[in-house]
Amino acid sequence: MRVAHVHKIAGIGGSERHLLTLLPALAAQGIEPSFVGLDGGGDPAPFYAELRRAGIPHRATSVPGLRRALSAFEPDLVHTHLVHADVFGALAAGTTRLVTTKHNDDSFRTGPFRFVERALTRRARSVICITDALARFQVERVGLPRGKVTVVRYGLDELPPAWSDDAPVELPDGARVLLGLGRLVPQKGYDVAVRAFATVRERHPDAVLAILGEGPERSRLEELGRELGLGGSLLLPGRAGDVAGWLRRAELFVHPARWEGFGLVLLEAMLAELPVVAAGVSAIPEIVVDGETGLLVPPDDPAALADALLRLLADADHARRLGEAGHARARSEFSVGEMARATAAVYRRVLA
């Protein structure tokens, strides 16, 4: 069975890390995966380097060249990811059977774009959603047919290898690092984290908040840090090549997202035995069990977020227990093997 995956690539984010895990795992299931990347600007080179290391055939192309790039792999099935690939992949796939994965519950999908989503879903044989919450969103709010929707959760067995060397970041001796990881966009709620951190600093002047990622919110977060007098205790070092190194250095993981399709970074933090403090929105409660593997707080509530962070900074034993339980949950509930087996089962149903 030959399956060509399509995704717009501009770097390595959550959906890209998912594909770098999924494609080799599918190969281990006896499937012949390939990958076609749409040019998304940015720097896709590390992503393709990882595909080469994994032995996954791949091509990079623009939209006009997509049909030719797909046909070169002679796929039995085309699997698209995210909006650009969904739209252009459905057109380029021709009569080849189509599967799509929905990775996020972005609010724009409930507006006029929902009619595009419904039309694309008529073309697709199956829609994979990465959490139960996302499946409900797609059925109840976007209007996709329930019979086409299947839930296959992300899986992760180990922390990601370093994609590249990071620029040195000076951390004070004994700094207590609170870590965020993701795109600097309003969805991730890092402005809430910065406001909460200002309260944390009043009690813990040795605390540092490091948010790894890039995006249009950078200048706003920098300005907010200056307004709150955070100085060098707020670190925005950009994209991290060595995510695992940062996770091992951190004491707490902070994820105050306003909505979230899954949050692969939550699994990474749990595998690193980091206690997670996150907003209890969308799919996050499916990943982080409140009071067992982390603490969940309301979204857009800096005071509640600060209170949860302060509780764990003041109780190292509690934080350690949460981290250990999170590690056990990640291992037992979110394996790569199960993700690959469930995805392969979708393919077999579609081709049958």
Domain 2-155+335-351 shares a fold with domain 176-333: yes
The answer, yes or no, to whether residue 166 has pLDDT greater than 80, is: no
pLDDT of residue 180: 97
pLDDT digits (tens, 9 = 90+) for 233-272: 999 998 877 888 899 999 999 999 999 989 899 999 999 9
pLDDT of residue 13: 77
The answer, yes or no, to whether residue 324 has pLDDT greater than 90, is: yes
pLDDT digits (tens, 9 = 90+) for 289-321: 999 999 999 999 999 999 999 999 999 999 999
Domain boundaries, the chain: 2-155+335-351, 176-333
Q: What are the strands of the beta sheet with 58-61, ordered from one edge?
A: 58-61, 32-39, 2-9, 77-81, 97-102, 126-129, 149-151
Tell me the β-bridge partners of 35.
Answer: 5, 58
Tell me the β-bridge partners of 255.
Answer: 278
Write down the CATH superfamily of domain 176-333.
Answer: Glycogen Phosphorylase B; (3.40.50.2000)
The answer, yes or no, to whether residue 198 has pLDDT greater than 80, is: yes
The answer, yes or no, to whether residue 12 has pLDDT greater than 90, is: no
pLDDT digits (tens, 9 = 90+) for 56-88: 999 999 999 999 999 999 999 999 999 999 999
Outline where DSSP puts E strands in 111-173. 126-129, 149-151
Summarize the confidence of residues 34-53 as an average pLDDT. Answer: 86
b/e map of 60-90 (b: 16 or more CB within 10 Å)?
bbeeeebbebbeebebbbbbbbbbebbbbbb
Which one is predicted more confidently, 244 or 162?
244
pLDDT of residue 108: 87
pLDDT of residue 235: 95
pTM for this predicted structure = 0.87
Instruction: Name the average pLDDT for the chain.
Output: 93
The answer, yes or no, to whether residue 52 has pLDDT greater than 90, is: yes
The answer, yes or no, to whether residue 127 has pLDDT greater than 90, is: yes
The CB-side HSE value for 49 (13 A sphere, CA atoms) comes to 10
The alpha helices in the chain, defined as continuous H runs, are 14-28, 45-54, 66-72, 82-92, 113-123, 132-136, 190-203, 218-227, 243-249, 264-271, 284-287, 302-314, 316-333, 336-351
CATH topology of domain 2-155+335-351: Rossmann fold (3.40.50)
pLDDT of residue 162: 73
pLDDT of residue 46: 82
Summarize the confidence of residues 131-139 as an average pLDDT. Answer: 96
Return the percentage of the chain with pLDDT > 70, whole number: 97
Which one is predicted more confidently, 86 or 39?
86
pLDDT of residue 167: 65
pLDDT of residue 42: 66
pLDDT of residue 294: 97
